[in-house]
Structure 1
Amino acid sequence: MSERPISQIPPIEGSCSAREVFALKALGDSMEPEFKHDTVLIIDPEAVVKSGAYVIGKVEGEFIFRQFMIHNDKFYLQPLNELYETIEISGLDMLEGVVVQAGNRRKDMKKYTYA
């Protein structure tokens, strides 16, 4: 049950916009069984966030991968692994983007849509 948070990611110099799709790796086991350690995540910072979506959030200066949930008009970042705690967040501004694809090989890539 080891989880290593995604440390602060330094900005990358270049021509990419901060709002373009980007990739990260899932670290740890907090999102198992759906996402194994080292799964490549494709994140869309412009995607519409809905309850149930897998997201990258920023909590206390650290990036965190969780499932976004709304319950009783409150916002939560919930792990899939019950050994980890659900975190209440103050608003959507704490979200960096929505996971739209995940996998480690092209043939294994899974797309995520949130109707």
Structure 2
Amino acid sequence: MSNECSYNELYPLQVLDDSMEPEFPAKCVIVIEPAEVCATGAYILAEVDGERWFRQYISEGDGKKRLQALKAGYPAIDLTGKSFKILGVIVQRNVKRDIKHYSPYVPNGGAPPVSSLK
């Protein structure tokens, strides 16, 4: 008998590069909740044209969508006209036992909007 529930189980991955620093330093562990949808601003694992990416998902009001690295020097991945699928949303980060949780259903991963950080 197969276990259909395994699709919904959280799973960890280790970040291998610095493209998502400073929020997600290289070698930190992220925990992913399998999902196919998310809010703009969420940190996600996605597959674009057969390649997997860990990036921030940005959906603009004019229908444009992209995957954005947090660190300067890494280009955005324009999703216009590309085959892409959201594989999961990041719900937790662990950096040397310092754990931070993220909400996949709230814009900006649960962080306050930039305009309210003054």
TM range (shorter): 0.7 to 0.9
Establish whether residue 76 from structure 1 lines up as the match of residue 45 from structure 2: no
Using the size of structure 1 for normalisation, the TM-score is 0.75
State the 1:34 CA deviation: 0.7
Shifted more, 57-66 versus 28-37: the winner is: 57-66
State the 1:94 CA deviation: 1.3
1:40 to 29, 39, 42: 29
Deviations for 1:15-52, whole angstroms, at most 9, x for unmatched residues?
67133211111111110111100110000013750000
The residue type equivalent to 1:24 in the other structure is: L
**Any gaps of 5 or more consecutive residues in structure 2?**
107-118
Q: 1:86 to 1:58 in 2, by over 3 A?
A: same
Rounded to whole Å, the distance in 2 between the matches of 1:30 and 1:53 is 16
1:66 to 52, 55, 65: 55
SS in 2 for 1:29: coil
Rounded to whole Å, the distance in 2 between the matches of 1:81 and 1:64 is 14
Q: 1:46 to 1:59 in 2, by over 3 A?
A: closer
**Any gaps of 5 or more consecutive residues in structure 1?**
1-13
The residue type equivalent to 2:38 in the other structure is: V
1:98 to 85, 89, 103: 89
SS in 2 for 1:85: coil
Contact 2:36 2:86 in 1 (8 A): no
SS in 1 for 2:6: coil
Size of the aligned set, in residue pairs, is 101
Q: As a proportion of its length, which structure holds more helix?
A: 2
Q: Equivalent pairs: percent with the same residue? A: 40
Using the size of structure 2 for normalisation, the TM-score is 0.74
**Superposition RMSD in Å:** 2.4
State the 1:92 CA deviation: 9.2
